[in-house]
Structure 1
Amino acid sequence: MKAFLFDVDDTLYDQVQPFARTFYRLYPERNDIDIHKLFARSRVYSDEVFEDSCTGKITMEEMYIYRVQKALADFDIAISDEQALTFQKYYEEYQGKIEVSEQIQAMLQALSEKENVQLGVITNGPNEHQWDKVRALDLQRWIPEEHVFVSGEIGINKPQKEIFTYAENRMHLTAEDAYFIGDSPENDVAGAKNAGWHSIWFNRRKKTTVVGLEPEYCVTSEEELAELLQNICGA
């Protein structure tokens, strides 16, 4: 029995899309900015304060303000707290309209039809917010709700190995048969390795490998990911 568990954001859907729609709604004239680089900076700043937002050191609103203000400041755009929250409001609006690509749909469908494969999700974030994304993506078509593990609901975040162990126990897995697929070396690759799982880095942005966080596998496109998982199933 193989088990493939996925991160959600920037793994099962391209997170740049709702971010780009938000940015160009507010700054339609700023075609000079590389939206992928801006998005990457926002993720860096989000990761900086994510743990503080989970422990209550800062509020979620403060985290949203921090990451948007800091990212835009890197591109010489200064915004107020109110404007940052407006950005977040529109971003959440567009996240409610996210879709799974045809390639990912086909991959999940093929995997879900295999008798020797289980599918699941482990995602960091507030419980309701992450479940909204799961439902917007209609992941229940392929992944049972009881196999969706949200850090905000469980009280443990990736890369802590305990959230992987929690999923392992709930799904009755063995670590040697568990594969985790995600976009973050720090959270997804490190977390899987900490738990003794196989790690698959979905490197959509073609980033440089982080020293000490080398994954067992690395793919850079949805097509490569689908092919890899199919090959693992056949192994």
Structure 2
Amino acid sequence: MIKALIFDLDDTLYYEKEYVLGSFKEVAYYLGNKYGKNEERLYCRMKEILKASGRGKIFNIICEENNFNEDIKNLIDIYRDSKPKLELYEDSKQVLDWARKQGYKLGIITDGCSKVQWNKIKALNLEKLVDKIIVTDDLGKEFWKPHQKSYINMMKYFCISKAECVYIGDNPNKDFIGAKKLGLKTIRIIRENGDHIKVLLNEEYEADNNIVSLLELRELLENNRLE
């Protein structure tokens, strides 16, 4: 019998790009005011670079293009310290509320810089919605998924067996392989938007089930199709 639902955070419970864009705005505001540049143009340029090249060197490129004499680490700190407004997906709100009323234990396991992840968690008010949150960076970067430690810690906290919990995430590169090796049931949510929606890997990395909405998770549980 399933007793606990353990979720990934980014692009599983909310659209992670909202955080990225909100943080870009704060960096653009800082640079615009410091150097007398149009912050909206800086922000739009950051979005263009993100779309074309990914996240790696966005602030470097912005500074090079505008001849900003800026410490990139300072811009990264502004990005990581930002607290943009975030919203859970509507189906996330519904299913978390339903699951709590049904008596399920609720957990979150998330990778990423600890400061950033906790800012997201607080912005989404998740500490009031779930029972246990593990930011793997707090354990040490070597324990980021797919390491099994966070899953084991969550099961110990809830005093449940591997057969009594299911893990729901979006990224087959890391979300499911550790959980599956432990014997947890796994579900991949493939939403309309997200960094990993087009990633398809072999069976070792993919989840046991795929869904496109957390409302499908509710149906699986109500129909005892995860037992």
Alignment of 1:163-178 (within 5 A): 163-178=150-165
Q: 1:82 to 1:229 in 2, by over 3 A?
A: farther
Q: Which residue pairs with 2:199 in the alignment?
A: 208
SS in 1 for 2:176: helix
Q: Which residue pairs with 1:33 in the alignment?
A: 48
RMSD: 3.0
Q: CA deviation at 1:230?
A: 3.4
Q: Kindly provide the CA deviation profile for residues 4-42 of structure 1, in whole angstroms up to 9, marking residues without a partner as x.
A: 11112222211111223444645345499385565xx33
Q: Does residue 142 of structure 1 match 2:134?
A: no
Which blocks of at least 5 consecutive residues in structure 1 are unaligned? 43-66
Moved beyond 3 Å, runs of 4+: 21-26, 28-38, 77-96, 125-129
Larger Rg: 2
SS in 2 for 1:208: coil
Alignment of 1:45-56 (within 5 A): none
- In structure 1, what is the Cα distance between the partners aligned to 2:165 and 2:128? 21
Q: Does residue 161 of structure 1 match 2:176?
A: no
Q: Does residue 118 of structure 1 match 2:105?
A: yes
1:124 and 1:152 in contact (8 A); partners too? yes
- In structure 2, what is the Cα distance between the partners aligned to 1:186 and 1:16? 19
2:23 and 2:84 in contact (8 A); partners too? no
SS in 1 for 2:188: strand
1:178 and 1:197 in contact (8 A); partners too? yes
- In structure 2, what is the Cα distance between the partners aligned to 1:164 and 1:16? 26
SS in 2 for 1:186: coil
The percent identity for this pair of structures is 25
- In structure 2, what is the Cα distance between the partners aligned to 1:34 and 1:152? 27
Q: Which residue pairs with 2:169 in the alignment?
A: 182
TM-score by length of 1: 0.70
The count of aligned residue pairs is: 198
Q: 1:19 to 1:128 in 2, by over 3 A?
A: closer
Q: Which residue pairs with 1:55 in the alignment?
A: none
Q: Which residue pairs with 2:85 in the alignment?
A: 97
- In structure 2, what is the Cα distance between the partners aligned to 1:174 and 1:84? 45
Q: CA deviation at 1:160?
A: 0.9
Counting helix residues as a fraction of each chain, which structure ranks higher? Answer: 1
Q: 1:16 to 1:125 in 2, by over 3 A?
A: closer
Which blocks of at least 5 consecutive residues in structure 2 are unaligned? 29-38
Q: Does residue 218 of structure 1 match 2:183?
A: no
Q: Which residue pairs with 1:45 in the alignment?
A: none
TM-score by length of 2: 0.72
Q: Which residue pairs with 1:107 in the alignment?
A: 95
SS in 2 for 1:185: coil
- In structure 1, what is the Cα distance between the partners aligned to 2:79 and 2:94? 27
**1:182 aligned partner, one-letter code:** G
**2:21 aligned partner, one-letter code:** A
1:122 and 1:148 in contact (8 A); partners too? yes
SS in 2 for 1:125: coil
